[in-house]
Amino acid sequence: MIQVGIVGGTGYVAGELLRILMYHPKAEVAFVYSHSHAGKKVQSVHEDLFMLDELRFTETVDPEVDAVFLSLGHGNSTRFLELHPFSPKTKIIDLSNDFRLQADSRWGERQFVYGLTEKNGEAITGAGNIANPGCFATAIQLALLPLAENHLLQDAVHVHGITGSTGAGRGLSETAHFSWRNNNLSVYKAFVHQHLDEIKEILTQCQPDFGQEVNFVPLRGDFTRGIFVSAYTRCDLSAKALTELYEGFYAPKLFTKVMPDNVNLKQVVNTNYCLVHVEKQDDKAFVTAVIDNLLKGAAGQAVENLNLMFGLGQEAGLRLKPSFF
């Protein structure tokens, strides 16, 4: 069994990692690190994990563990690794933005691979360290990847995305309170969202001559989990050719599916899938994509990366059913 550690164990993403790993056929949790909750039972925070009655948070790590997930706030992973060095044999999967950009991808002797499995699956296989993509970045990149890989992004891209409240993390803020969020909708970080840099970098890696703007307007939704993205850009392909492009590109991809009809969040919540729908409107390609922000946008994709790194089936532990009703 692969011995796995989780650092930053009290957050929503850590909870999802635990829910996946407790049924993973080839991995088991060696420790769950939380300085603030050390000694307490994991179920005292993740109340639905009452079946893990003996598992407790710890403020120590096993430096020889096979793999570790860093589920820390942005900017905190590098500081944690400085204070808690792991064996060179330990594979690191970081869920912050510390190592996502090429300029930040090397840390000491460690080289981090960007963990978008649909783009970098071959590089991820056998890799030592992974920078897990951001949740909005995952949905937007998967919406645009077939166009970029075929050098068909000719103009500016316009993106509208809405995310559930869990995307803001477990910490309380005014805009995370139920009384503010319920029956409400608001824009935040329009055109300057922190995921834009990694989105543009991947698109440019696919299509080096892409120098157009990605105009992204994110919104806070009045629901708990999920991301719904819609994007459009000028495209000369016919409707039939556009659909065939997307279907052909994603046919071999395990967790991204092209759907013939409009998609909705209930199809993917509690799963590791991204569903994509594409259509032609006048001279524009119009693409919608939906994911669960905590799974395909975070913990699920991180386990995909774990599976590929250790030569396991990509789907191990990830055969999850949507919560449709």
Residues with a catalytic annotation lie at: 135
| Number of Cβ within a 10 Å radius of residue 200 | 19
Centre a 10 Å sphere on the Cβ of residue 182 and count the other Cβ atoms it contains.
10
Which residues pair with residue 67 across a beta bridge? 4, 91
For residue 144, the number of C-alpha atoms closer than 13 Å in the C-beta half-sphere is 36
Other Cβ atoms within 10 Å of 184 Cβ, number? 11
Q: How far apart are CA 134 and CA 233, in angstroms?
A: 22
Q: Residues 6 or more apart from 281 whose CB is under 8 A from it?
A: 232
Q: From the centroid of its chain, how far is CA 138?
A: 6
Determine the Cα–Cα distance for residues 305 and 91; give it in Å rounded to an integer.
10
Three-state DSSP class for 184? coil
